[in-house]
Amino acid sequence: MNTVWERISILMAISTEPHLLIRGNQSPFNVGSRILLEDFNEAQVRELNDRYRSPVGAQDIPALIDLLNGHPYLISRALYTMLTEGISWSELTQIAITERSPVTVHWGFKIGVGRSVGAGRPAQ
């Protein structure tokens, strides 16, 4: 086999901090197209719930949308966690804003922002 890789005798690679590759406002990491996602509507959440083998009962879909504001990633994450970890809808609602929640990072950010605003810190 005479491939290109067989003909290489020395291969050099470097690793550097990303900020060293960025010039001004142009980043080599911004190479994709921006895709804006709207919040899921009830029909979309019902379809996703069906694809996850319906861990949320049909009557609780509006409550799921309300809990996560229809956010596509958060709804998908909640359904995935319910399916893979065997968490029921009632358990999810009980742990929704605790550290055990499948959306802890998001809730932590929202709660942190709420606390900093609520603490009377001046707007910057």
pLDDT above 60 for 74: yes
Q: pLDDT > 70: what percent of the chain? A: 67
User: 97 or 72, which is more confident?
Assistant: 72
pLDDT one-digit tens code per residue, 10-19: 766 667 776 6
**Domain range summary for the chain, segments of one domain joined by +:** 41-116
pLDDT above 50 for 48: yes
Please report the DSSP string for the chain in residue order: ---TGGG-S--------GGGG-BTTB-TT--S-----PPP-HHHHHHHHHHTT-SS-GGGHHHHHHHHTT-HHHHHHHHHHHHHHT--HHHHHHHTTSTTSTTHHHHHHHHHHHHHHHTTPPP-
**Predicted structure pTM score:** 0.60
Residue 113 confidence (pLDDT)? 43
- Give the chain's mean pLDDT: 77
- Alpha-carbon gap, residue 49 to 76, rounded angstroms: 8
